[in-house]
Amino acid sequence: MAEKVFIKQLEGLSVNECALQVVKEMIQKADNIDVEVLELKNRTTVIDAGVNVNGGYRATEYVVKTVFCGFGEARITAMRYGRIYLPTIVAYVDLPVIIGISLYVWAGVIPPPHVDTNEYTAWVSGPGKALSQSPEKVYEKLDYKDQGNVSVLIVQPRAKVLPDEKVADKLASACGISPENLYLIVTPSNSIVGTAQVSARTLEDGFWRLTEYYGVSYDRIKQMMTTTPIAPISSRVFKEPCVWADDMIRYGGVLHAWIHSLETEDLQRMAEETVIENNPASFGKSFYQLAVVERKYIHPDYDLHAIAKEGRGFVMAEVCLYDTRTGLMHRAGRVHDEIIEKLMSRPW
């Protein structure tokens, strides 16, 4: 096994304590940003950002900043995509290894959309994963463990339902903390915050592709930034054809990454293989078609490397890789305005 990467900025640092500072500010401004703060019977703090409240773009900015533990931020703007203007999220992170620490793939991950279950199913991400040392693939490479006693997690459920004490106890146990030290931010998939914060995950798709697929070590990715259009909210997500946030990443997401390359690495090839237009098996298709109709869904039990190789996941519209060793830029792809517009009116 290769030697673990040590990130000096993380030495003696609790990423959960860093995230908690953002959460506390979010709690103080709850009325202004349209979120609701609740306490479960086991004293877990739940911030509702889209179940019984509307949430909104200001709440989204706080959620993204929480995911990045204060080392990154997001801003909402509007950009033209062909004939239409769409709200767009601009996200950046100054310490990209934080993306690995907060990766989506973890406990309680949603099953494929065509599978019915009575369990509370949700994507779970956030710095609390540094306490559980999950997923193992990240911590096999990264020399870091949060020694704190507080956990912050972002929970994105399929339905507009808040987690109960059973869910909170399970997550607290996985983190090795008491439930009263657990903070859950809930962002349903069919909410403003849920849709917008997923568009910020273009950063995550790019980070996974670079590190897990191409083997770029965490310490050599110096900076990352993305711009991605935000999909409209739909109650039909996972049920009927509609445009998904994943479609916005695939056809409108633009990734900028600053990498200190090795002489043996081909950054131009990485850029070209990461854009959707160079993956004919999935180019032009909606994510609904891939995930529900063809059932080629991204799930922890699936071979993520095969999914990336076939272009079914971890791809985006445009990629710019800046080599800090050579000073060269390597870019590929473009934003596909025409496909975005088509999916907005005829998703499949």
Residue 79 within any structural domain of the chain:
no
Domain CATH code at residue 209: 3.30.1030.10
Residues 316 and 250: beta-carbon distance below 8 Å: yes
| pLDDT over 70 at 24, yes or no | yes
332 and 219 both lie in a single domain: yes
Report H helices in the chain: 15-28, 30-33, 57-67, 97-101, 129-132, 136-139, 165-175, 192-199, 202-208, 245-252, 267-274, 287-288, 304-309, 337-345
Provide the angle, in degrees to the nearest 10, between the axes of the packed helices 245-252 and 337-345: 160
CB within 8 A of 284, min separation 6: which ones?
Answer: 339
Closest by CA to 60, choosing from 128, 204, 156, is 156
Q: CB neighbours of 217 closer than 8 A, spacing ≥ 6?
A: 5, 141, 211
Closest alpha carbon to 268 in 212, 202, 214 = 214
Q: Would you place residue 238 in the very low, low, confident or very high pLDDT band (cuts 50, 70, 90)?
A: low
Q: pLDDT by residue (tens digit) across 194-221? A: 999 999 999 999 999 999 899 999 999 9
Residue 327 reports pLDDT greater than 70 = yes
Nearest of 126, 337, 316, 123 to residue 237 by alpha carbon: 123
Query: Do 19 and 69 form a contact (C-beta atoms < 8 A)?
Result: yes
Q: Which residue range forms the structural domain that includes residue 59?
A: 8-68+97-191
Closest CA to 310 of 267, 285, 278: 278
In a domain? residue 148:
yes
Ranges 36-45, 201-210, 336-345, most confident: 36-45
Query: What's CA 26's distance to the chain center, in Å?
Result: 19
In a domain, 74, yes or no: no
Give me the mean pLDDT over the 120-148 stretch.
88
Q: Can you tell me whether residue 26 is helix, strand or coil? A: helix
Domain end call among 191, 208, 241: 191
The domain boundary, picked from 191, 215, 241, lies at 191
Q: What is the distance between the alpha carbons of residues 136 and 142, in angstroms, rounded to a whole number?
A: 10
The pLDDT value recorded for residue 113 is 42
Could you tell me the CA-to-CA distances from 68 to 9, 51, 125, 290, 323 in Å, in that order? 14, 23, 11, 29, 23
Q: Are 244 and 237 in contact (CB under 8 A)?
A: yes
Same domain, 256 and 181: no
Do residue 185 and residue 235 come from a single domain?
no
pLDDT at 166: 92
In total, how many domains does the chain have? 2
Q: Is residue 87 part of a domain?
A: no
Q: How high is the pLDDT of residue 346?
A: 73
CATH code where residue 55 lies: 3.10.340.11
Of the three residues 148, 174, 191, the one that is the final residue of a domain is 191
Measured in residues, the chain has a length of 348
Other CB atoms within 10 A of residue 147 CB: 12
Reported pTM: 0.92
CA distance 105 to 124: 7
